Structure formats: C-alpha cells, structure tokens
C-alpha cells in the first residue's frame, strides 16, 4: 500500500512538501555514513536510527527502496578542512598499525552498535577507497565543465566561478558575499585561488600513508567528492532523498550539490532531510570537555554520567520520543522516564496476547486510532506523536485487563496487528532482551517473589502482611493490580 499523503520537511526549501518520488513506486535514498577512525558517536547513532525509521516506513508503505549509506575510510582530514592529516592515517600512525586495520576495527564496531539498536542494514554500503576510480572520473567531468583547476598536483573546485551561474549556499541559506567576508583573513595562507574553494583531489605529502595514482599526482580524494561519486553511481544523477546530520549541511552537503550540479543539469536531490543534534545533560557533547559518552558505556553502565545501565531498546525508544529535526538532550532523568514508558508499552503488548475477546466492543475507536497513527508518520515521520497514540492503546488494554472495558474480536485483531506493525516494524523497537545478569530481570524476579509472598499471606488470611507488601511497593512506584488472570504490576 503506497500512501500519497506523506509530507517531508525539505531542508532545501525549508518547508514541508508532498513526497512524490521521481519514479513512482521506487525511492532512492543516500545517507552520509561514519568516518571509521573511532567508536561511533552517540549523536551519529541518533541520525542513523532516525533514517532507519524513515527507511522502515517507506518500505511499509510499499515503496521499493534502495538505501545507500557510505563508509568514509579515506580523505576526511582533520577539522573537516583541506589541510592537515587524514583522520584514519593519523590513528594508524599513533597506534603503529596499518590504516586498513583502523578501518576494519571501527567498521565492525559501527555495525555491532547499530545491530544492538536494531537498525536494518542499507541496501548498499560503499566505501571511499573502493571507489577511487569513480572519484577520479568525476573530477575529470568537473574539469570538462570548467569548474576545476589544478595547482601543484592538487585539484580544487572553483566556487566563485560556479556561483556565477548557480547558487552556492542555497541549502544552508548562505550568500557567497558573506562567505568571502568571513574568510578574507585567510587569503595568502593557501594555494587555492579563493578561500571558499574546496579540494577535489589532494597531492599526498611524503609522509602521507594513504595515496593513489591519478592524472594530477599521487594523492587522495577530497572528503566531499566520495558522496557525490557514490550516490550518483548507485542512485543516478538525480535521486529522491539525501540524509545526514545537521552538522553536515555546510559545507559537506553544500559541496555535494555544487559538484553534482556542475556536471549535471538537474538538481542531484529532490528532498534533503537532516537529523538534529543530541546533547548530554544540557550541553554539547565533546571529547575535549569530557561531556561525552559512547553507546556501549550506556549499555554496560561503565561510565561516570549515569548511575545504572540502559538497554539499547530503551535508548532507541528515548531517541524516538523526539522528532528527528529537534535537538534532543540525553540525561539520566530522561532515560529513566523512557525506561518506564518502554516497559509499560512492552507489558501492554504482552498482556494483549493473553486477552480473550467478548462479543461486546469497548469504548475504543480502533479505526480512528489507526488513522491517527498513520497521520503522525505521514507528517514528516513524527515518531513522538505516534508514540503518544500508542499509549492511548496501552490505556485501553490495561482497562480491558482490569475488566473495566470489554473488547471484541475485531478490536483485538486490529490492536494485535497494528501495535506490532507500529512498534516493531516501523519504529524498530524490539522487545527487551532478557539476560540473567540484567537489572531489569532481577527487578521483575524480585517483584514476582513479593507477589507470591503476598498471595501466600492472603491465602493464610494474613491481610496485614499482604497489605504491607502492596503499600510498600506502591511507595517504591510499583503498583500491583489484581485480576482474574492473577496479579500484575506497573512501574509508575
């Protein structure tokens, strides 16, 4: 089923637009992947989780999606600049290992972390080093179009010449005059004609480890070039969606547009989507300040930021409780709230499978509820609004379990099917992974033991003890609920 009511916030126009693929029924989507010189950043994980939901929903709507996400394993210099050392080569030099050992180690880490977050793998995951030939050929095309020049074996893109016939800065809403003004003090410090120009190919210094032969020099491609070369190879000269973190909008994505537009007549991308940043305890995450935490640090609890571990399922659920275009702050208080919410959601799903329907329907318009859920996702993949609607269903399920509301077979069938669809298939939220050492399982076993002791006390007519267990648990935020199917509990 392909819904035509989907709208997306296009960064290029700054407005929500109806989503209409270039080729009906097919979607080409490119997302900028990691530079594999260190463990994947938690903020990067938020971006990849956001686009995982987008990928999942497009597939759910019936589109055939080709999802391309690159691995940057060469050419990304320090500080995103055109000078300095390659990040991967620097790591290799410091650790006295081969650059491809660095790449392999952190690529494996990247895949393992995303697997824990239950993200689907992309259709194609190309690497920069695997597409050196394509990048060299693309530079030749830019030369033929008249927007490239060579100096001392390095090749640069002529931004000022490009801007005479195009708008460099249209994605980030910057004007070339402002860029010139802000970089004027750098003139004379670079071999480039203009400070705004960016590298397409860099001649390797003698000490530079990673290098390839080219018509201009032994060197390596510029960081921006790989995405243009690989996206056009696998998705065509124009494709539907280009995604990435908001920090890539300028200069990386701006340069991608210029490279592609200089060679091809049509704009390279129809919809630009950007995920916003993740902060930690109200401040920007930064390794230099120490305000930083890795995903595995959260999962294991081995960190000085939080007092306990949180599962990947809880962290993913937390991230989806904010719209992907909004700034999101991660804190212990926020993760605690998400953990409780996640558990309530999973408990309701599990309890739903044990309900026997009656002939009378409850006061829950399941058809209207389903429409609201789809309306949320059709509004630029609004996961927090969808989650709010999911909790409307949770309230109804709990009332049914407590015999406060009836439920008929039609309602039960719709809820079972659509909760699984929205929670697991679209949002990608997996059930809690059980582990004998997990604190969650220990908590559940402890409460189960207390429920058993309470039931024994009630059977012995020791109501003072049974009431004390119930009341004490309630003070701890654990509410017991007695029903025909036994005693259940919820975390308040």
Looking at residue 436, what is its pLDDT? Answer: 39
Spell out the domain ranges in the chain: 20-275, 279-426, 439-491
Q: Which two tokens stand for residue 436?
A: 């004998």
Tokens of 219: 């060197």
The answer to whether the CB of 436 falls within 8 A of the CB of 442 is no
Interval 259-295: pLDDT, tens: 999 999 899 999 999 999 999 999 998 877 888 899 9
pTM beyond 0.75: the answer is yes
Q: What pLDDT, on a 0 to 100 scale, did the predictor assign at position 438?
A: 56
pLDDT at 166: 94
Q: What string of pLDDT tens digits covers the 492 residues of the chain? A: 555 699 999 999 999 999 999 999 999 999 999 999 999 999 999 999 999 999 999 999 999 999 999 999 988 887 777 777 889 988 988 999 999 999 999 999 999 999 999 999 999 999 999 999 999 999 999 999 999 999 999 999 999 999 999 999 999 999 887 777 565 444 445 789 999 999 999 999 888 889 999 999 999 999 999 999 999 999 999 999 999 999 999 999 999 999 999 999 899 999 999 999 999 999 998 877 888 899 999 999 988 899 999 999 999 999 999 999 999 999 999 999 999 999 999 999 999 988 888 888 878 888 899 999 999 999 999 999 999 999 999 999 998 888 888 888 888 899 999 999 999 999 999 987 654 345 665 777 788 889 989 989 888 889 889 889 988 888 888 888 787 557 877 766
Question: Candidates 3.30.1200.10, 3.40.50.620, 3.40.50.2300, 3.40.50.720; correct CATH number of 20-275?
Answer: 3.40.50.620
Number of Cβ within 10 Å of residue 375's Cβ equals 14
Beta bridge partners of 488: 481
* First-last CA distance in the chain: 38
Instruction: Calculate helix-pair angle for 42-60, 312-319, nearest 10 degrees.
Output: 70
User: What are the structure tokens assigned to 425, written together?
Assistant: 């298939």
Q: What is the pLDDT of residue 378?
A: 98
Cβ within 8 Å of residue 469, ≥6 positions away: 450, 453, 454, 457
* CA atoms of 241 and 97, how far apart (whole Å): 37
d(C-alpha 360, C-alpha 408), whole Å: 5
pLDDT of 186 reads: 45
Q: Are 41 and 291 in contact (CB under 8 A)?
A: no
Strand duo 219-221 + 239-245: pairing: unpaired
DSSP β-bridge partners for residue 9: 16
Please state which CATH number belongs to domain 279-426: 1.20.120.640
Cα 315 from Cα 334, distance rounded (Å): 10
CB count in 10 Å sphere of residue 356 = 8
Cβ pair 275, 92 in contact under 8 A: no
Q: d(Cα 219, Cα 222) in Å, to the nearest integer?
A: 10
Q: Is the peptide bond before 251 cis (omega within 30 degrees of 0)?
A: yes
pLDDT at 411: 87
Tell me, what's the pLDDT at 189?
56
- Tell me, what's the pLDDT at 57? 98
Decide if 20-275 and 279-426 have a common fold: no
Contact in structure between 295 and 330 (CB atoms under 8 Å): no
């Amino acid at each position: 089923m392909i819904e035509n009511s989907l709208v997306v916030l296009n960064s290029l126009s700054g407005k929500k637009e109806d989503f209409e693929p270039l080729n009906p029924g097919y979607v080409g989507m490119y997302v900028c992947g990691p530079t594999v010189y260190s463990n994947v950043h938690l903020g990067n994980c938020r971006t990849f989780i956001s686009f995982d939901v987008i990928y999942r929903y497009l597939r759910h709507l019936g589109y055939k999606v080709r999802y391309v996400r690159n691995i940057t394993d060469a050419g990304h210099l320090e500080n995103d600049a055109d000078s300095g050392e390659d990040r991967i080569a620097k790591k290799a030099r410091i650790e006295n290992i081969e650059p491809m050992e660095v790449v392999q180690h952190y690529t494996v880490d990247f895949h393992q972390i995303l697997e824990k977050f239950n993200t689907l793998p992309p259709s194609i995951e190309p690497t920069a080093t695997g597409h050196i030939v394509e990048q060299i050929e693309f530079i030749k095309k830019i030369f033929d179009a008249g927007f490239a020049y060579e100096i001392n074996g390095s090749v640069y893109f002529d931004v000022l010449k490009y801007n005479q016939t195009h708008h460099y800065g249209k994605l980030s809403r910057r004007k070339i005059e402002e860029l010139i003004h802000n970089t004027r003090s750098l003139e004379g410090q670079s071999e480039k004609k203009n400070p705004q120009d960016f590298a397409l190919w860099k001649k390797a210094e003698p000490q530079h480890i990673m290098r390839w032969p080219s018509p201009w020099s032994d060197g390596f491609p510029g960081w921006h070039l790989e995405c243009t070369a690989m996206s056009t190879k696998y998705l065509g000269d124009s494709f539907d969606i280009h995604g990435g973190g908001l920090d890539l909008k300028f200069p990386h994505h701006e340069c991608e547009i210029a490279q592609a537009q200089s060679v091809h007549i049509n704009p390279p991308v129809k919809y630009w989507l950007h995920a916003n940043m993740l902060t930690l305890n109200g401040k920007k995450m930064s390794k230099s300040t120490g305000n930083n935490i890795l995903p595995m640090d959260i999962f294991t609890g081995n960190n000085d930021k939080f007092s306990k571990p949180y599962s990947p399922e809880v962290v993913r659920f937390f991230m989806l409780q904010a719209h992907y275009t909004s700034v999101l702050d991660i804190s212990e208080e926020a993760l605690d709230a998400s953990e409780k919410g996640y558990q309530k959601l999973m408990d309701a799903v599990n309890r739903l499978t044990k309900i026997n329907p009656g002939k009378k329907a409850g006061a829950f318009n399941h058809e209207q509820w389903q429409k609201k859920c789809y309306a949320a996702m059709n509004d630029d993949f609004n996961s927090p609004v969808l989650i709010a609607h999911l909790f409307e269903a949770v309230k109804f399920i709990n009332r049914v379990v407590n015999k406060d509301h009836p439920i008929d077979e039609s309602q039960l069938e719709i809820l079972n099917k659509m909760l699984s669809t929205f929670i697991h298939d679209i949002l990608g939220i997996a059930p809690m992974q059980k582990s004998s050492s997990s604190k969650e399982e220990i908590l559940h076993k402890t409460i189960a033991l207390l429920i058993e002791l309470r039931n024994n006390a009630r059977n012995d007519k020791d109501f003072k003890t049974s009431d004390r267990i119930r009341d004490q648990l309630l003070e701890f935020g654990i509410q017991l609920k007695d029903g025909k199917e036994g005693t259940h509990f919820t975390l308040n």
